[in-house]
Structure 1
Amino acid sequence: MYPPLERLNLPDAEVYYAPHFFSPIASDLYFQELMQEVNWRQESVQLFGKQVPMPRLTAWYGDKGYSYSGLYNKPQPWLPVLLALKEQVEQASKQPYNSVLLNLYRSGQDSMGWHADDEPELGAQPSIASLSLGGDRRFSFKHRSRKDLKATSITLHHGSLLLMQGATQHHWLHHIPKTKHPVQPRINLTFRLVKG
């Protein structure tokens, strides 16, 4: 049995969180295996007419290709460890997934800017299952249009699962800010269903 996913109090959203989805031992093992087996890359994106390296390492695995920030991700074939994680996340979320984006945050200087996972290939109300392994990082939300709602943050722990679904991507942006505090490397896996 997996620990329950508790709904966060975010208007216009369906966000659920289990801070200890995996045990510390299982989380450590998965982290080490992914560090060694994943084909990590430093991709660049177009920003103000320049090619700028992303402030993190990434990898894309699955059945479908995917484009974001002007970057096309050709799918790499599933690794056994990724299939095992996908199956467990699907059981807990009761959602199917056919692809996963992995991000490796090497230090507090690696980050992710404000964005929503709202690409057309994901459909109108995508389900995004975000699994965190390694160092704790702050994960922030801000509403796209409601100025009465302040940005809010949670800490994503080693072995945690965050599920964003329903109209979340339509109404909210999210990001991982930089931090000057010493943090351990973190691997984030975002499972998604790419359509078409």
Structure 2
Amino acid sequence: MTHALQGSLFDAAGPTELGPLRDVRRTVLGDGAWIDLLPGWLTGADAVFERLATGVPWRAERRRMYDRTVDVPRLLCFYGEDDPLPDPVLAEARSALTAHYRAELGEPFRTAGLCYYRDGRDSVAWHGDTIGRGSTDDTMVAILSVGAPRALLLRPRGGSGGTLRHTVGHGDLLVMGGSCQRTWEHAVPKTTKPVGPRISIQFRPRGVR
């Protein structure tokens, strides 16, 4: 598997470390949903991308779509709550997120799902993380992005209302909370523009997928 990441000039010389979460900025979406955004939470993110791109046992999946089976347009790897994470900084990030959000969330972040978007042809369609408790309960999904920036879109469930666009990569953090998984959808669309590879790390509580 090959990758060609154009590194960030602001990230190239820095150490790999997490910034303070007190600097997150919240946007209230309505219907009990909200997102928190913290650009550049992880410095040295390009080095983390390189380690994950080469060190994670990525797998390609195929899924049934209507009357045919198609390739999932991204590579995947899931780490359950008892699995060691593939890089120490991911364990540090999960612990930091738990410490910051536990009073509001009421429980720790436990799992990590990784998605590898190799180029603009890789994507994820509109969806909410509603397998498990996300379909009925308020919860949180924290997304740490390393690698090249990609657009992450959000819209009210059902497609009515406006679409929000955030470009995330190079160590940015985006947290979806409250009713966001039930009342809003998110997507990473395909693009014909030349874009580099991105890895998304999604931290979730137990029973949320």
**TM-score normalised according to structure 2 size:** 0.79
Separation in structure 1 between the aligned mates of residue 190 and residue 162 of structure 2, nearest angstrom = 19
Q: Which deviates more from structure 2 when the two are superposed, residues 130-139 or residues 117-126?
A: 117-126
Task: Tell me if the contact between 1:115 and 1:174 (Cα under 8 Å) persists in the aligned partners.
Answer: yes
Give, as a single letter, the amino acid of the residue that structure 1 aligns with 2:51.
E
**Equivalent residues in 2 for 1:113-128, closer than 5 Å:** 113-122=125-134, 124-128=137-141
Which of 22, 44, 49 pairs up with 1:31? 49
Which of 66, 76, 97 pairs up with 1:58? 76
Task: Tell me if the contact between 2:40 and 2:173 (Cα under 8 Å) persists in the aligned partners.
Answer: yes
Give, as a single letter, the amino acid of the residue that structure 1 aligns with 2:187.
H
Per the TM alignment, residue 121 of structure 1 is displaced from its structure 2 partner at its CA by 4.0
Task: Tell me if the contact between 1:2 and 1:92 (Cα under 8 Å) persists in the aligned partners.
Answer: no
Name the SS of the counterpart of 2:30 in structure 1: coil
Q: Deviations 1:23-48 (Å, cap 9, x if unpaired)? A: 2xx21221111112211000111111
Which of 168, 173, 183 pairs up with 1:161? 173
Per the TM alignment, residue 114 of structure 1 is displaced from its structure 2 partner at its CA by 0.3
Separation in structure 2 between the aligned mates of residue 186 and residue 145 of structure 1, nearest angstrom = 28
Which residue of the partner structure matches residue 98 of structure 2?
90
Separation in structure 2 between the aligned mates of residue 36 and residue 22 of structure 1, nearest angstrom = 19
1:6 aligns with 2:13: no
Separation in structure 2 between the aligned mates of residue 189 and residue 35 of structure 1, nearest angstrom = 12
Per the TM alignment, residue 91 of structure 1 is displaced from its structure 2 partner at its CA by 3.5
Separation in structure 1 between the aligned mates of residue 48 and residue 121 of structure 2, nearest angstrom = 23
Give, as a single letter, the amino acid of the residue that structure 2 aligns with 1:88.
A
Which residue of the partner structure matches residue 124 of structure 2?
112
Per the TM alignment, residue 56 of structure 1 is displaced from its structure 2 partner at its CA by 0.4
Task: Tell me if the contact between 2:141 and 2:202 (Cα under 8 Å) persists in the aligned partners.
Answer: yes
Per the TM alignment, residue 145 of structure 1 is displaced from its structure 2 partner at its CA by 4.8
Q: Structure 1: any 5+ residue segments left out of the alignment?
A: 65-75
Separation in structure 1 between the aligned mates of residue 96 and residue 119 of structure 2, nearest angstrom = 28
**Aligned residue-pair number:** 182
1:22 aligns with 2:42: yes
Which residue of the partner structure matches residue 15 of structure 2?
none
Give, as a single letter, the amino acid of the residue that structure 2 aligns with 1:87.
S
Give, as a single letter, the amino acid of the residue that structure 2 aligns with 1:47.
M
Q: Deviations 1:124-181 (Å, cap 9, x if unpaired)? A: 112100000011111111112583x211211113100001111111110110001111
1:137 aligns with 2:132: no
Which residue of the partner structure matches residue 162 of structure 2?
150
C-alpha RMSD of the superposition: 2.1
1:184 aligns with 2:196: yes
Identity of aligned residues (%): 31
Give, as a single letter, the amino acid of the residue that structure 1 aligns with 2:47.
L
Q: Structure 2: any 5+ residue segments left out of the alignment?
A: 1-18
Give, as a single letter, the amino acid of the residue that structure 2 aligns with 1:10.
L
Task: Tell me if the contact between 1:93 and 1:163 (Cα under 8 Å) persists in the aligned partners.
Answer: no
**TM-score normalised according to structure 1 size:** 0.84
